[in-house]
Structure 1
């Protein structure tokens, strides 16, 4: 069943050594998925009560809102704890940051140890990431000696600076400077990038004129050659 799932089947629940494994169909609309899952949980509430569930999204596009919806349903319908989310192997770094925000361990397909896919721990002596749990408004300036995570938007007139990567779980409309100590391999991640200015190390980019379509999931800015390129996913 892991290799193949019928299009009409919203999900499969299997036993796992750490609880239950909820394997989600990638083609089923979220309302249909939630309705079918609620029915299953209510029919077998005594069986699932107070258990742990691992959500397998290797067949489905990652969407934080969907994960929150599934998590809420599991808790409300049967007191089930969402203990882990399993994803495909692509774009692993972004998903690790997403796992930190969701408060759920994220594991990636193909890794030997699932623990290696949890939010990354800094090496001994390294500065931990700075996490800002609010929108950065105009006039705000935030600096981090390591990575910087913003749980909100970065509004025009705000400036965020980090020695490492910058991750914005919202829209980036202000000024962002990653790799501020000269690291050109640093990246800027955001759900939507519409900045006043981007900087990575010594490379500077200004936004193009006109509005661009919003990405399906997120965008990443990184240095290619001597230019900063923004790729949408």
Structure 2
């Protein structure tokens, strides 16, 4: 197995579904089965071009197997970069109509917090909030005085998260789950539950997600219900989607 450029030793981690033609590609990328779909795991230090090449090879070699499936991008120790997520998402969609359903991050949240800060226009820091009334374990949620609430898991039905600042969810918000924040809400997955940003009246608050298909959206005092099935054309957004108040109503756009 070839060593990853920039590394002084041969990678010791093993992939699944490896064929002779994938011998080099495994150094850059793994695809594993997961209870929520397929896990796509890029090497933490491999150049994006090598990750993309390996991804195309794996998908094309097993196109019928992966066709129209869902994948979860598990970055692990790899730094979060929005441009890389967008490239990988496009490759999956174009190559085999694969849906990028979720992005999972590792312990280092600084890159994602920096991106969130630039996106929302105010500092976003890991931090405090009330404990959820659902069954999230303590390790799945960071609580530090004076900042955003960071939820390190998918919010399942029955979970309720309340944040006195911004709220960042590193997973999906499923139907039946609620996320409420005084500031913005950022979801690194699909938003299909209820989200209420600016809950104390801030109409400049926004709701961000890979895909926004909620039970209900609320920003400040305004409420929006999802359109009827199929009315959005059935196409996946090219990038993140954002809900914001425009002309006294809530509008969802791709950014």
C-alpha distance after superposition, 1:20-48 (max 9, x if no partner): xxxxxxxxxxxxxxx9x94x547xx49xx
Q: Find the aligned partners of 1:137 and 1:104 in 2 and give their Cα distance.
A: 22
Structure 1 pair 138–105 and aligned structure 2 pair: CA distance change class (3 A): closer
Q: How many residues align?
A: 152
Structure 2 residue runs without a partner (length 5+): 10-38, 48-76, 84-102, 127-144
Structure 1 pair 193–101 and aligned structure 2 pair: CA distance change class (3 A): farther
Where do 1:63-142 residues align within 5 Å?
69=42, 71-73=44-46, 103=108, 105-106=110-111, 120-121=124-125, 127-142=146-161
Task: Pick the structure with greater CA Rg.
Answer: 1
SS of equivalent to 2:186: strand
Aligned to 2:247: 225
Aligned to 2:203: 184
Q: Does structure 1 retain, via aligned residues, the 8 Å contact 2:124–2:148?
A: no
Q: Find the aligned partners of 1:127 and 1:199 in 2 and give their Cα distance.
A: 24
Q: Find the aligned partners of 1:146 and 1:167 in 2 and give their Cα distance.
A: 12
Shift of residue 213 of structure 1?
1.6
Q: Does structure 1 retain, via aligned residues, the 8 Å contact 2:78–2:106?
A: no
Structure 1 pair 101–127 and aligned structure 2 pair: CA distance change class (3 A): farther
TM-score for the superposition, normalised by structure 1: 0.53
C-alpha distance after superposition, 1:176-231 (max 9, x if no partner): 00000000000000011000110000011111112332112211000001111101
Aligned to 1:4: none
Q: Does structure 2 retain, via aligned residues, the 8 Å contact 1:85–1:105?
A: no
Q: Find the aligned partners of 1:133 and 1:82 in 2 and give their Cα distance.
A: 16
1:161 to 180, 183, 191: 180
Shift of residue 102 of structure 1?
7.4
Aligned-pair Cα RMSD in Å? 3.9
Aligned to 1:175: 194
Structure 1 residue runs without a partner (length 5+): 1-34, 47-64, 75-80, 88-97, 112-116
Shift of residue 120 of structure 1?
3.5
Aligned to 1:5: none
Q: Find the aligned partners of 2:209 and 2:80 in 1 and give their Cα distance.
A: 23
